[in-house]
Amino acid sequence: MRTTKQWPALVGFLALSYSAAGIGSFFTFRALRSGWYRGLRRPGWTPPDRVFGPVWTILYTQMAISAWLVRRAAAHGNANQARAGRVALVAWCAQLALNVGWPAAFFGSRSPALGVAVIAALWLAIVATVGLSARVQKGAAALLLPYLGWTTFAAALNVAIWRRNR
């Protein structure tokens, strides 16, 4: 695949990732403006609000680059690698949808309990995406590990908030 044909795919994955971020932010900002989130009892290890934007910007960028690397490797590989790439990209899309679903559940529905359920599914989808991506392109899988780590932390925070606000 020629280099000039690869860049539109990267731009597309970046657009998908940042669109997911924008949709998720819609739910988050509404809950922050209303004061609902600030009224919750949160653990002392909750990061300041200003940390989340930069962290998620980096993670969404890494997610997009990861998907692009999988697509690129699958396009250059044999039939088995192409099939594995398609499966990895389906998992990538599923985790991205769940990534949007979490702020909709937690902030939009104002339900830490529903947030726990969605973030558990998201965590599993990320693990699957990492494993499937590794079969196609190891670097793509490695780019998802910080996202998995942050989501693990976010899940622990979500559970702690749920437990404190039942």
Name every residue whose Cβ is closer than 8 Å to that of residue 4 and which is 6 or more positions away in sequence: none
In CATH, what number is assigned to the domain containing residue 68? Answer: 1.20.1260.100
Residue 2, pLDDT score = 55
* pLDDT tens for the chain, residues 1 to 166: 555 678 999 999 999 999 999 999 999 999 999 999 999 999 999 999 999 999 999 999 999 999 999 999 999 999 999 999 999 999 999 999 999 999 999 999 999 999 999 999 999 999 999 999 999 999 999 999 999 999 999 999 999 999 999 9
Q: How many CB atoms lie within 10 A of CB 103?
A: 23
Residue 3, pLDDT score = 55
Phi, psi of 52 (to 5 degrees): -65, -45
The residue assigned the tokens 């690869």 is 6
CA–CA gap between residue 88 and residue 153 (Å, rounded) = 24
Q: Which range marks the domain in which residue 116 is found?
A: 3-164
CA–CA gap between residue 24 and residue 155 (Å, rounded) = 16
Nearest-CA neighbor of 48 among 37, 34, 59?
Answer: 37
In three-state secondary structure terms, 59 is helix
Residue 131, pLDDT score = 98
Q: Domain total for the chain?
A: 1
